[in-house]
Structure 1
């Protein structure tokens, strides 16, 4: 096996990094995951994930974790309501039997992460390891972390997300602004803090369209709500607005102006006592990106092909990256690691570009003047 007696460092303990670590350990590889979170109990944010056949679900099958997945997935989370800006229901899967997205079962990020973490050997994940830099050493890399520690690896895999600090060692290609910015909000104890909107989901998710803007939200198994409010705008519009996103009154004032014409019922997101906001301009890497393959470094997931969230492809493509890279490194079909990585990267770039293109097309539809009509036609068929 190409990676026999090789030390492998995966930088980033998200879905892609943990999936890859699991698959490599199943082949007895020597692998460590360096994660910047202080420990595994740090509050996990982010939306519920729907895993797809051939990518996310296939990764769980190959990892021998599909039964664990189905023990923790949330069938009701797939049920969707489409509404207008006045919260008037235009499409309701709660009244239509089988959900459109039921073939894409949904699971919260926290239990999925726990399933993957629990499948790894003890001490595989090195917590509180925020990557700072690395330099070449022998035929590998010497990695340095913010806490003052360091480590050597023969092979480094960047799985540290859209703002990857490892990616620049491989590619100088800059991300492209998509034209869409969103504000993410997380509300804890939502049944008390956003009671009406919490009840309105019936445990599923809601998508609202109007004025070339979008609001989407859903409940999670821990009783929280994550919502996004997205819109077309200049890249630095929120940064230049001077809004303090730790100040809910300032964010609420912005919303009432920016989303003028949307009903007051949406205000519940902004007026409760336990809401936290994050501004997120949405980026993607060029569809024709390329880089020179290295024998001791590659990347997967958002580090390789970040994209907006409007097609539900990001996590799925990332988990497919994990099982395809693991396959290339362990199937004994390639003469050396560089050849294996080269084969993986060529296929990965093609898949990432296709998923990004689909996402950008969805983004345009969902923020168009006829978004509501187009989405109703799509789901009705």
Structure 2
């Protein structure tokens, strides 16, 4: 296949697709709005599952490199009460590799290093994509391409070419707090969280903490609130409101609110309607959050990478792009619909004090 293929978005899904296409000798260009690969923090840690994310990495020829970078100890999970006492504790077996953790930045670096030089064009912000495959960038340039793959996340600029759907607020917000040098600067929190994740909930709110590499911990303060609840409040004002909301929690648990390094990061939760499908286009398709934005319950990056692998393999195994896209969407759309239905309103489980994380 000698057609021109363009991927919008240099996240795990877009880069996985590009890597597998190149392995099959198919030229591809990735466009990303970031000015360079280290322009911003890539987010927290990811658990890549053996039955989807790791399958994609195997097709990419990168599974061994991933396992060398991953943290199997990150599979540890703790369910805590409001005082910080452990109620449920999963300690991974020594050889457990079903869903080891890896930081987003490390995964992105692994994928970027696997691509041919010049594959990613940085600093290219897409304004819109036509259903004919033409790309319009904010700098006024256009690119003619035979297939546009939208791997550009929740607020995809590619999606409108095939779908009128827009994300809507799910009623729950995640407020992110960072903790650095935790073994020295935050030893009580390090001991509380362990090497993986720790969560506690009271029915209306939840604290979810994740160990990252480099001696970091990220905590997500999860509540049912209006999307604009944070308003213009500064860090001190937001912290005061949080302490009022979590006033029944123990001083130890409240350190996840009071001791963070730097400001909070507001992450209101948006999802796409279920089901989200579109009429087949021979020139445009979507993968990952651009196709099926779901609650953050451990499936997002895994589905994006599985989508990427299946799309690349379908294109490699087809005589035309239209045939490959149709084959991919014929599998991806029913699967994503089924999973999205299962996870619809699933974040309510995080707020449920009876909810137990799976080991």
Aligned to 2:239: 252
Aligned to 2:218: 226
Aligned to 2:341: 357
Deviates more, 1:48-57 or 1:341-350: 341-350
Task: Check conservation: 1:74, 1:107, Cα contact below 8 A.
Answer: yes
Taking structure 1 as the reference length, the TM-score comes to 0.87
Aligned to 1:293: 280
Tell me, yes or no, if structure 1 residue 76 matches structure 2 residue 57. Answer: no
Change (3 A) 1:28 1:143: farther
Task: Check conservation: 1:143, 1:152, Cα contact below 8 A.
Answer: no
What is the deviation of 1:217?
1.0
SS in 1 for 2:28: strand
Gaps in structure 2 of 5+ consecutive residues = none
Taking structure 2 as the reference length, the TM-score comes to 0.92
Aligned equivalents of 2:330, 2:149: Cα separation in 1: 16
Deviations 1:343-381 (A, max 9, x none): 3223212221222233336423322xxx333417x65xx
Aligned equivalents of 2:343, 2:241: Cα separation in 1: 27
Change (3 A) 1:272 1:259: closer
Gaps in structure 1 of 5+ consecutive residues = none
Aligned to 2:323: 339
What is the deviation of 1:102?
4.7
Task: Check conservation: 1:193, 1:272, Cα contact below 8 A.
Answer: no
Deviates more, 1:224-233 or 1:148-157: 148-157
RMSD over equivalenced CA pairs, Å: 2.3
Aligned equivalents of 2:178, 2:57: Cα separation in 1: 27
What is the deviation of 1:100?
12
SS in 1 for 2:353: helix
Tell me, yes or no, if structure 1 residue 280 matches structure 2 residue 259. Answer: no
Query: Which of 8, 11, 17 is the matching residue for 1:14?
Result: 11
Change (3 A) 1:306 1:199: same
Deviates more, 1:151-160 or 1:45-54: 45-54
Aligned equivalents of 2:216, 2:247: Cα separation in 1: 26
Aligned length: 359
Query: Which of 347, 354, 357 is the matching residue for 1:373?
Result: 354
Deviations 1:75-100 (A, max 9, x none): 11111111012211112234xx6289
What is the deviation of 1:50?
1.1
Deviates more, 1:16-25 or 1:28-37: 28-37
Task: Check conservation: 1:188, 1:275, Cα contact below 8 A.
Answer: no
Task: Check conservation: 1:243, 1:250, Cα contact below 8 A.
Answer: no
Task: Check conservation: 2:134, 2:145, Cα contact below 8 A.
Answer: yes
SS in 1 for 2:306: helix
Aligned equivalents of 1:150, 1:217: Cα separation in 2: 43
Aligned equivalents of 1:37, 1:188: Cα separation in 2: 25
Deviations 1:107-162 (A, max 9, x none): 111111111001000011111122123446xx531331x34554332211110101
Aligned equivalents of 1:358, 1:115: Cα separation in 2: 31
Aligned equivalents of 1:79, 1:316: Cα separation in 2: 19
